Structure 1
Amino acid sequence: PANLLESELFGYKEGAFTGAIRGGRLGKFQLADGGTIFLDEIGDMPLPMQAKILRVLQEREVESLGSSAPEPVNIRVVAATNRNLKQMVKEGAFRADLYYRLNVINLNIPPLREHPEDIPLLTQHILSQLYHKTGIYKHMNQEGLDLLGQFSWPGNVRQLYYIIERAVIKTDGDIISEKDLPAEIQPMDRVNHKTRLPRRLDDLLAQVEQEEIIRTLEETNYNKCKAASILGISRSRLYRKLLQYKG
């Protein structure tokens, strides 16, 4: 919601709204004072929020929710988007003044499909990140890497991350192979062949349970206590399930 985004970026004073914590809270702009702030998916921000961000860039000051006294900030802003901001300006969906204010240095990052040779290194990096995040160590074999290199990756590196994350949790053993990767990146003939194979009901139920646990862990940023509460199971039972998935 826009008001939640505003409180995150600009902060708020005590009593600014119902639920505001005592003493208020600094926003991301104040916390970045003297440094750099990264605004991801700037093209998705609503027009009223765009106006507030423009003011920060022009006036070099921030006004917290519930305050009438602007605070000076000295920040560099880096913004990213996967949308065509020029076209959005023409359509009135993005402010022209903010566009030109941000578009001082433009870096065009090519889609992942245009540099598949980077996928093995990215995969290794993601697996290392996931090991530090979940404690689950996995390695991907060459067949799995070859399959990743053949996919078009419309969601780019984020999609690659979540595909690997899911494979890490679902794969038995330490090696991720092509058969452990989801159907969405498999060749169609292989997917069709798989769907014709008979499957036991208990295997299907176990897969549904595993996918739901993975989804809940992703949504809670791997907070196991919170995930167990949402799933309605004990924390020890969740740990046992995760140990099963580690193989």
Structure 2
Amino acid sequence: MTTTTAWRADPYDCALRTGRGPLFLRRHDGWLLPLEIERWCTAPDSADRSVLDRCRGTVLDIGCGPGRLVAALAAEGRRALGVDISPEAVARTLRLGGSALCQSVFEPLPAEGRWDTALLIDGNTGIGGDPTALLRRLHRVVSPSGRVIAECAPVDVDECCEVRVEDGRGGHGAPFPWARAGSRALAAHARRAGWEVSEQWTLEGRTFLSLAPQPSAAARP
């Protein structure tokens, strides 16, 4: 089963439908990472607001989930689009008044190369299991002067592994590749992908990096 199919299967869609967990990512060795479904399904908190305040121009939210950030931007009259491979995530975003497409970031996107800000929030630097490859892809998504705002893992970690979604009650999806990177590791992935850290901040226990293209055109893939 592909990563796309795994995220479209229950129990992830079921949790988004109800707005409640529990929901986890389980690594092959049994380690569990809780997913914050309830937070994702509520209004933006102060940490989210710190991200929204730094968005400029048109905004693409990659892995938008239930759409709280896209909907908040839309409510302010900003042009924003969410992208998510979960049909329930897209449906919930639309119900909140946001715009969203059900597809992968690695597929061709609307206005590709012209987005001013791309968001990788709530662990979405893990998409595809390779943060460097994901950030290289974003050079083709954002404009030459665009930025990426990415949330880091809250611990000093740099791992690519296989996980599956579980609900703690016996329901689970198929395995797929995922990654986690703390601030130091994510900054290193960004440099390899042709980005530089222009700002780092922490709020409510969450850490974010704002990434700008490296000055040298040779750094772009």
Bigger Rg, which one: 1
> Which has the larger share of helix?
1
> Which has the larger share of strand?
2
In the superposition, the TM-score normalised over structure 2's length comes to 0.25
